[in-house]
Amino acid sequence: MVNQSPEPFSNVAVSLGENIMVGALFALLWSHPLVAIIILLLFFSLAFYFLPKIWRAIGVRVWFIRRKLKQPAREQLETVLPTKLPGRYQHALNRLSNPPEQIAWTVPCITGQGKLIPTDRIGYLFASPDRLPKVYFLVKGWFGAAKLYEIDEFNVTLRQRFLYDELILYTPGKHDRYTFRFDRSTAGFAPLIAADLQSRIDAPKPMNLLPSVHPSDEPGLHQNPEFRSSNLE
């Protein structure tokens, strides 16, 4: 793009900058080879760490755009949440939880910003049938590795973006925020998930009733048989 520029100033500036950079690197390598090697190793380490994340983020955006172009008609949106994981994910879940977690619903999604869950990871979000405000996220890694994340005690928010629907789970006490993105082929599931989670949050909590204490069981109190019989009479 620089070489196609009609004016010569940008070409001269870029060429001069390249020459200065190459000359500085050769001078550093000649005078301080150890420092030059350390700088090169640092550069390659940063590239090795950030490039996969950058390429994954770009790939996810391109995938969302492709799914947007194949967006189904509104009347074709799903009304029932799936209840089964794919075989390889179910096998991974069986290995990670003993006994295996029961599934009320499960939907594929891609993670967004989160404190403990990596960004731009494809996996399955699911909930158990116990109606507790708790969800799990199952993600597979390299060489058959898998990891199961558990999130509980959260508030739920649903935002509709241009390319996807975003489910946000926020834990007020811990100040943690987790986001899960549903592409346009599964966007019909996002409102159903939000409604199910909200109903779990709004459900009355079970009360733990303390056992009744008989007066005779309290310290310092002793029953008088005569007093009891007189009361009964």
Q: Which domains does the chain have, with CATH numbers?
A: 8-69 (no CATH), 87-202 (2.30.29.30)
Check whether 58 has a pLDDT greater than 80.
yes
Q: What is the pTM of this model?
A: 0.69
Per-residue pLDDT tens for 74-113? 545 557 899 999 999 999 999 888 777 889 999 999 999 8
Q: What is the 3-state secondary structure (H, E, C) of the chain?
A: CCCCCCCHHHHHHHHHHHHHHHHHHHHHHHHCHHHHHHHHHHHHHHHHHHHHHHHHHHHHHHHHHHHHHCCCCHHHCCCCCCCCCCHHHHHHHHHHCCCCCCCCEEEEEEEEEECCCCCCCEEEEEECCCCCCEEEEEEECHHHCEEEEEEECCEEEEEECCCEEEEEEEECCCCEEEEEEEECCCCCHHHHHHHHHHHHHHCCCCCCCCCCCCHHHCCCCCCCHHHHHHHHC
